[in-house]
Amino acid sequence: MWQYITTVFQQFRVWDIVDIAIVAFAIYKLTMLIRGTRAVQLIKGLAVLLIATLLSDWLGLNTINFLLNQVLTVGFVALPIIFYPELRRALEQLGRGKFFKTSYIQPEQLEGAIDEVVESVLYMAKRKRGALIVWEQETGLTEHAESGIEIDAKATAQLLNNIFYDKAPLHDGAVIIRGDRIVAASCYLPLSDNSKISAELGTRHRAGLGISEQSDSIVIIVSEETGAISLAKNGKLTRYLDEKTISEMLNSQLQKNNQKQTNIFPWR
């Protein structure tokens, strides 16, 4: 057995390893590109159809197998049309040289962005100024960011305060942050349909809960009525946070995810 394994490895060229590594990395980047978009659900649907086709063939269900084969044929032909937005985005990122970039940033940069956000949130809470800030994690939020106005600027307290100023044109909707940068403002988010949500919570809180149910993002919400600060994650809402608590929660959750990116790419 050991001799057989040794023979296999001897026949395995260095370029074969490089070839496999490149393909694996490309698949990983494509997976990260479509995470958090409708494409994930479409892929799951195609996977179910493929499994059903194989099972019907194995069980000898000829009519069902014929129909499923026809559906799969049409489905694969339609893939370029279905995935047009994702393919366009991938080509654009490749052209801009962003395909090989990751969301990892230095811990001190992230800590600085957290401090800026906390400062802004406290400022707005004192003035009962409503705010909805979504911090993207592993699940991509590009689809939601594209529903708003592109900003692409470093996250600072002054910029956030200006965005959520009640007479500013961008104050409605959510701000999406990726790493230490504000990606977009005035973004539309899906509302939670959880029937157990308190009736006293308005649209802003439901939108924050909705995006936290559909992704692993961390959402900070400032109530316009009470000035209370809340944090939503995984469909759960933690309310009435003070400066120390909100800072600790953000640092704990965001730095943990950032560290995962370091472990995936340890050479950076």
What digits encode the pLDDT tens for the residues 178-218?
999 999 999 999 998 887 888 788 899 999 999 998 888 99
CATH architecture of 107-264: 3-Layer(aba) Sandwich (3.40)
Main-chain dihedrals φ then ψ at residue 132, nearest 5 degrees: -140, 110
User: Model confidence at 266, in pLDDT bands (50, 70, 90)?
Assistant: very low
Burial of 59 (0-12, 13-18, 19+ CB in 10 A): exposed
Query: Domain coordinates of the chain in residue numbers?
Result: 2-95, 107-264
Strands 174-178 and 131-135: parallel
Q: Which residues contact 87 (CB under 8 A, 6 or more apart)?
A: 80
pLDDT of 14 reads: 67
Q: How far is CA 213 from the centre of its chain?
A: 12
* pLDDT at residue 6, as a whole number: 58
Per-residue pLDDT at 24 exceeds 70: yes
Please state the rounded mean pLDDT for residues 108-118. Answer: 93
The average pLDDT across 215-223 equals 93
